[in-house]
Chain A
Amino acid sequence: MKIELNDIKHILARVEKPARYTGGEYGAVQPPADAPFCFCMAFPDLYEVGTSNLGIKIVAESFLRRGYAADYCYAPAPDFGEEIKKAGVPLYSLALKKSLAEFDMIGFSLQFELCYTNILYMLDLAGIPRRRADRAGKNYPVIAVGGPCAVNPEPVADFVDIVFIGDGESVDADVAALYVECGGATREFYRRAAALEGVYVPALTEVKYAKDGRICGFESEFSPRRAIVRDLDGAVFPTSQPVPNCESVFDRSIIEVMRGCYRGCRFCQAGFIYRPVRQRGVETLTRQACSLIASTGYEEVSLNSLSTGDYPNLRKLLKSLKANLPQGVTLALPSLRVDSFDSEFAQDARKVSLTFAPEAGSQRLRDVINKDVTEDEIVSAAQSAFDIGYSAVKLYFMLGLPTETDDDLRAIRRIVDLIKSAYGRKPRQKSLRVSVSVSTFIPKPFTPFQWERQASEGEVEAKQKLLRDCLYVKGVTLSWSDYFTSRLEGVLARGDRRLSRVIERAYELGCKFDGWNKYLNREAWTKAFEDCGIDPDIYTRERAEDELLPWDFINCGITKDFLKRERARAYQGRVTGSCKAGCSACGLQKVCPAARGQYSIE
C-alpha cells in the first residue's frame, strides 16, 4: 500500500511540524522499489532526533551498497500518531511511502532504554503484532533491533526476531542476503543467521529461572557475540546524506573519526562495548567531510568519537580539513577531554560556552571511576578557554557513584570556586556563567560497575539537596536529573525478559516517548509494574559477582574477569588509565591495534 500525501493533507495541515512526515529530503536516496530485499530503518524517537543520528545512516548505506532498498521511518509525534490511527492510515516509510508492514525487515535503532515503548507504538501504528509469538507463521516483516542498547536486549527480546549486536555495517546486509537465499524468514534462515557474528535470535535461546526468581541458566546451541568491524577506514560510510526537512537536533555534517575509546571510564558503557579503538585516516576523513559539505550545504562538520582529543593525528586532521573545506565551514569537536583540551582546537567555533565533564568532584572519586583527570587539568583547561574568549562553562557531574560520600559532592563546589577564580585572574568583559549539570549514575551492562546498586530515591534526593545548598552561588546554575527517569532507565538497562510484560503493559496504559519529560507518565509506569507483579527494585539492587546476569550469554569481547579486576581496582581507588599507557588485557587483545602498540593508522 502506497500512501499518497494528497490523501492525508488534511492531517498534515493540522499537526505540528508536518515536514517530519513528508519525506522528499534533499539528498535522500530513492531506494529501488523492486529490490530483492526491502529494509526499513526505524528510529523510535522524533524525526529531528533521528535525522541527527549517524549510525542509522551507516546501516541504511550498508544495505543500499548491496543493491537492497533502505528507507527510513521515525516515531511520529503523538498528534500525528493519533490522527493516522483514527484515519486508518498505517505508519509508512518516508521515501517509498510504503506501509511498514510490507517491508522484509524493520530495524529499530536502540539508542537508549527509554525508547522501548516507542517500538511497540510504531509496530502498533504499522498494524504489526507486538509480540513475536503473535507474528509466528504469518507474513510479517522480520523485526530487528540494534544499537548500543542491543548489548542487553532481553527486556525487548519477546518483541523482536533478530538482534544485531555491535557494528551494524558488518553483518546487517549479510542477514538480508541470507533472507533472500532462504526465500524468506524460514526456520533455516533464523538458524543460519544465529550462527553469524553479531546476530542473536531470541527465539533460539531459552532463559531458565531458579525458584528465587534469579536466572540460573541459558539454553541455546548458539553463543551470540558482538560484531566488530576490523577496518574502520575502509568501512561503509554514506558520503552524501539527506538534509532533514525541518531543523534537527544537530543540524550539521558528521564524520566519525574513531570508534571506541582508550580511556575505560568505569561508568561508561560506550567505553567498553565499542572496544577496541579503531580509526579512520586523515585522508579518508577529509574526503568524507568535503563530500558531505558539498552535497548537503551544511556550514559545520562535527568530528565525532567518544574522545576526539585522543585521535593521534588531530592536528594534522584539522589542518587538512581547514585546507580542503570551503572557507567559513566551522569544525565542532564535541568530545574533548580536559586533559586533551587545546585552545587551538576550540578557536573555530563561536566562543560562547564550553563543556567539560569532570564527572566527580573529588580526586578520590575520579580515581574510583577511572576518569584519570586532575583538578589542575580541569582548571587549566578552563583558564585557556577563558583566555581565548569563552565566558561560560558547562560542567557535567554524576551523583550516586560507588563509594561516594557527601565530601565528594561538596568537592564539586571547590571545582566551581577554582574555575571562578581562574576567570577572575584577568579583567574580562563579561561576567562568568557556570552551569553545573548533575545526572544520576546508572550502572550499565558490560561495565565494571554492572554489579553495583543504583542509589535509591531517598539517597538521590538527599544528594541533590546537598548540591543545591552548596552550589547556591551567584553566576552558577545547577540542574539535575529526575529520579524516576533515571531509575526506569536503570531497570530497563539491567533488565531481563520478564520486563517485556511491563513494557507492554506500560504501553497499553499510554506510555510512549518516556525519555521526554513532558510525555513521561509516571503513574502509568508504576501501575504497569504493579499489574505485572514485578518489583522494579530487584533490578536496581547490587548483583553478586557469581550471579548469572541477564546479558551474560552475550559475548561482547570483554571478559568478565577483566570487569571484576576493574571493579576491584575501583574500590581500591586505583586508576587503570588509558590503553595507550599499557594494555590491561580486557579480552580484545587479538583484534586490538593498541594492544599491538599501534596507536595510529598513519
Chain B
Amino acid sequence: MIAFRYTKTDGAEYISHLDLLRHIYRTLRRAGIPLKYSEGFHKHPRIYLNNPLGTGMRSVAEYATIDTDWRGDFLSAFNSRSPAGIKCLAWAYVADNQNYAAGIVSCTYRSEGINDFDISSLMAAESLPVVDTRGREIDMRPRIYAVERVEGALEFTLGCGENNLRPDVLCAYLAKRYGGECRDILKIASHMAEGLFE
C-alpha cells in the first residue's frame, strides 16, 4: 500500500469529495499504477481518503491510502498525470490502510482577513454556541484546540471527525464578532493520534 499527502488548491478546491475520488482514481490509471479492488458485485478500487474538505477550502494536508503493489517513484508518477491543484507532496509505502477518515482527529487551518482580537478572551469562554451550516446549534468551544496569530494570519486547530468543527463556521463567527472578512481558508496540517507517515 502507499500512503500520500496531497494538495487541493489552484481550482481543485471547488471539486467535490466524490469527484475528487474519481480524479485520483483516473490519475492512478493514467499513471499506470494498478489498484486492488474490493470484492463483490460492484467492485470498487481501494482508495481511502480523509474526511471531506468543505468545497472552496484549499488544503496542503489531504491524505490518502491506496492499495497497490506498485513500486516506483510515486510522486513524479502521480504528479505528471494529476489535474492542476491535486499534487502529491510526500508519500511512503505502508503496511495497511492508514484509515485517515477515522484517524485524523484535528486539523490546523490558516485564514486571512479577520481583524485582530484578543485570543485569550476567546479561549477563556466556557461555550461558544453557533448555528452550523446544516442549521444545528452546536458549541464550538470544545472543538477549538488552539488559536494563534502567525505573521498576520490566523492559525487555528479544530476537531475533525467526531468532534468536528468546520473552519468556515468558525471564521464566519470571528468575522462577525471582531470584524474583517475571511478571504481564504487553507488547511496546513492534519493530526493523527498515532502520527502520520511523514
Interface residues of A (CB under 8 A from B): 5, 9, 12-13, 17-19, 21-26, 243, 245-247, 251, 294-299
Stretch at the interface among B10-18, B87-95, B98-106, B136-144: B10-18
Task: Tell me whether B83 and A24 are in contact (CB under 8 A).
Answer: yes
Quick one: CB contact mask for B2-37 with A, threshold 8 Å, 1 for yes?
000000001110111011001101111110000000
Q: Which residues of the other chain, A, contact B82 by a CB distance below 8 angstroms?
A: 26
Q: Which residues of the other chain, A, contact B81 by a CB distance below 8 angstroms?
A: 297
Which one of A5, A13, A246, A299 contacts B15 once the chains associate, using CB atoms below 8 Å?
A246
Interface residues of B (CB under 8 A from A): 10-12, 14-16, 18-19, 22-23, 25-30, 55-56, 81-85, 184
Q: Which residues of the other chain, B, contact A295 by a CB distance below 8 angstroms?
A: 30
Q: Which residues of the other chain, B, contact A296 by a CB distance below 8 angstroms?
A: 26, 30
Q: Which residues of the other chain, A, contact B22 by a CB distance below 8 angstroms?
A: 247, 251
Please name the residue on chain A nearest to B18 by beta carbon.
A247
Closest A-B pairs by Cβ, 4 of them: A297-B26, A297-B29, A26-B83, A18-B14
Q: What's the least CB distance linking B34 to chain A, in Å? A: 9
Interface centre among A13, A23, A296, A297 (most CB of B within 10 A): A297
Task: Tell me whether B25 and A19 are in contact (CB under 8 A).
Answer: no
The 14 sampled A-B contact pairs (Cβ below 8 Å) are A5-B11, A9-B184, A18-B56, A19-B14, A26-B27, A26-B84, A243-B23, A245-B14, A245-B83, A296-B26, A296-B30, A297-B26, A297-B28, A297-B30
Further pairs besides A24-B10, A246-B15, A297-B81: 12, Cβ < 8 Å: A12-B14, A12-B56, A13-B56, A18-B56, A19-B19, A22-B11, A23-B11, A24-B12, A243-B83, A247-B18, A247-B22, A298-B26
Which one of A13, A17, A25 contacts B83 once the chains associate, using CB atoms below 8 Å?
A25
Which one of A21, A246, A297, A298 contacts B19 once the chains associate, using CB atoms below 8 Å?
A246
Q: A9-B56, A24-B10, A24-B85 given as contacts; is B16 within 8 A of A17 (CB)?
A: yes
Q: Which residues of the other chain, A, contact B19 by a CB distance below 8 angstroms?
A: 19, 245-247
Please name the residue on chain B nearest to A14 by beta carbon.
B56
Task: Tell me whether B30 and A245 are in contact (CB under 8 A).
Answer: no
Please name the residue on chain A nearest to B31 by beta carbon.
A297
Distance A70 CA – B49 CA, assembled complex (angstroms): 36
Interface centre among B12, B16, B18, B25 (most CB of A within 10 A): B16
Q: Which residues of the other chain, A, contact B15 by a CB distance below 8 angstroms?
A: 19, 245-246
Distance A5 CA – B11 CA, assembled complex (angstroms): 8
Distance A297 CA – B30 CA, assembled complex (angstroms): 5
Distance A437 CA – B28 CA, assembled complex (angstroms): 39
Please name the residue on chain B nearest to A244 by beta carbon.
B19
Q: Which residues of the other chain, B, contact A17 by a CB distance below 8 angstroms?
A: 16
Task: Tell me whether A18 and B55 are in contact (CB under 8 A).
Answer: yes
Q: Which residues of the other chain, B, contact A19 by a CB distance below 8 angstroms?
A: 14-16, 19
Task: Tell me whether A24 and B84 are in contact (CB under 8 A).
Answer: yes
Q: Which residues of the other chain, A, contact B83 by a CB distance below 8 angstroms?
A: 24-26, 243, 245
Please name the residue on chain B nearest to A243 by beta carbon.
B26
Please name the residue on chain B nearest to A352 by beta carbon.
B41
Distance A153 CA – B153 CA, assembled complex (angstroms): 57
Q: Which residues of the other chain, B, contact A26 by a CB distance below 8 angstroms?
A: 23, 26-27, 82-84
Q: What's the least CB distance linking A24 to chain B, in Å? A: 4
Q: Which residues of the other chain, A, contact B10 by a CB distance below 8 angstroms?
A: 24
Q: Which residues of the other chain, B, contact A25 by a CB distance below 8 angstroms?
A: 83
Q: Which residues of the other chain, B, contact A299 by a CB distance below 8 angstroms?
A: 29
Which one of A12, A22, A294 contacts B30 once the chains associate, using CB atoms below 8 Å?
A294
Please name the residue on chain A nearest to B12 by beta carbon.
A24
Q: What's the least CB distance linking B7 to chain A, in Å? A: 13
Q: What's the least CB distance linking B47 to chain A, in Å? A: 13
Which one of B14, B16, B25 contacts A297 once the chains associate, using CB atoms below 8 Å?
B25
Please name the residue on chain B nearest to A18 by beta carbon.
B14
Interface centre among A22, A25, A296 (most CB of B within 10 A): A22
Distance A17 CA – B55 CA, assembled complex (angstroms): 9
Distance A164 CA – B16 CA, assembled complex (angstroms): 37
Q: What's the least CB distance linking A329 to chain B, in Å? A: 9
Q: Which residues of the other chain, A, contact B84 by a CB distance below 8 angstroms?
A: 24, 26
Q: Which residues of the other chain, A, contact B56 by a CB distance below 8 angstroms?
A: 9, 12-13, 18
Q: What's the least CB distance linking B87 to chain A, in Å? A: 12
Q: What's the least CB distance linking A107 to chain B, in Å? A: 25
Q: What's the least CB distance linking B33 to chain A, in Å? A: 11
Distance A588 CA – B104 CA, assembled complex (angstroms): 67
Please name the residue on chain A nearest to B15 by beta carbon.
A19
Distance A23 CA – B14 CA, assembled complex (angstroms): 10
Q: Which residues of the other chain, B, contact A243 by a CB distance below 8 angstroms?
A: 23, 26, 83
Interface centre among B18, B56, B184 (most CB of A within 10 A): B56
Please name the residue on chain B nearest to A246 by beta carbon.
B19
Distance A13 CA – B27 CA, assembled complex (angstroms): 26
Distance A63 CA – B49 CA, assembled complex (angstroms): 40
Q: What's the least CB distance linking A300 to chain B, in Å? A: 12
Distance A247 CA – B23 CA, assembled complex (angstroms): 10
Q: Which residues of the other chain, B, contact A22 by a CB distance below 8 angstroms?
A: 11, 14
Q: What's the least CB distance linking B1 to chain A, in Å? A: 20
Distance A545 CA – B14 CA, assembled complex (angstroms): 55
Distance A241 CA – B10 CA, assembled complex (angstroms): 21
Q: Which residues of the other chain, B, contact A294 by a CB distance below 8 angstroms?
A: 30
Q: Which residues of the other chain, B, contact A24 by a CB distance below 8 angstroms?
A: 10-12, 83-85
Q: Which residues of the other chain, A, contact B55 by a CB distance below 8 angstroms?
A: 13, 18
Q: Which residues of the other chain, B, contact A298 by a CB distance below 8 angstroms?
A: 26
Q: Which residues of the other chain, A, contact B29 by a CB distance below 8 angstroms?
A: 297, 299
